[in-house]
Amino acid sequence: MSRTTPHHDQLSRSGMVLVFLLLMFAVPQQLRADEVGIWNFNDSDLNVDHGTGSLTTNFNLTNVLFTLGGTSINARLGDAAGQSLTLQGGTGNGNNGRYLTLSLSTLGFTNIIVTFASQGTATGFTSNQFQYSLDGVTFIDFGAPYVPATSFALFTFDLSSIAGLNDNPNAAFRIVFNGATSASGNNRIDNLVVEGTAITEPVPEPASLFLLGSGLTALGGLIRRRQRVNAIHRR
């Protein structure tokens, strides 16, 4: 009658440990860039068009327009150029110092980047400060103020160095506008995108699969040899 030897039990346990370790090292996590929220302003509002998030402003609402043309720069997911968000200086340049605030959760994302296309008129806002917040309340300047060109250009704010924005349900961003010198002077913003690196399900790489297969083959050979030795000893 056959029986399992202590050596066989020890080999089986060692084999299980080996398989576990191979799986841990052979199946790394795959990273991919993904959009968290996208605003294309083609619907004449501040509502998010793809993904999640909210966009608000304390501008005088008579100076928040969507009638001027947009651009294809930074457009995502097949969005048309359509319209842009247009912000005017307002009566007495009263909108100087006012801002746009973008709030959204970055849960499940790291390496946050904010991009958008922008242009401005000569009497529009010529000194605009991008900011971020870790709690949605206190905002911190990020980089120097930017000046939009007279035609649409891409602006990129790479916040991957700000670890506190990773996996943060209270992340927020703000643009503070200054420098307008006439009521009709304006800046346009289009295709506002917040994106990051999403961690997906583990996906084996070819080299890792080879390593795993080689380890399992070797383990199987050891078990078969041990079984043959035990069978000889039982005769």
Q: Are 89 and 95 in contact (CB under 8 A)?
A: yes
Closest CA relative to residue 152, chosen from 198, 130, 121, 181: 121
Give, in words, the CATH class of 31-199.
mainly beta
Q: Which of 167, 55, 25 is nearest to 110 (CA)?
A: 167
User: Can you read off the two tokens belonging to residue 207?
Assistant: 């080299």
> Where are the alpha helices (H) located in 32-137, listed in sequence order?
none
CA 200 – CA 205 distance, rounded (Å): 14
**Contact indicator for 185, 88 with CB cutoff of 8 Å:** yes
Predicted confidence at residue 25, as pLDDT, reads 44
* Strand runs labelled E in 99-213: 99-103, 109-120, 127-133, 140-141, 153-158, 172-178, 186-199
- CA gap 183, 109 in Å, rounded: 40
- pLDDT given at position 52: 96
Q: What integer pLDDT is reported at residue 96 of this predicted model?
A: 98
pLDDT of residue 192: 98
In degrees, to the nearest 5, what angle opens at C-alpha 150 toward C-alphas 149 and 156?
30
Below-50 pLDDT ranges, the chain: 1-2, 4, 11, 17-31
Helical H runs in the chain?
6-26, 206-234
Residue 10's pLDDT is what? 53
Looking at residue 150, its pLDDT comes to 96
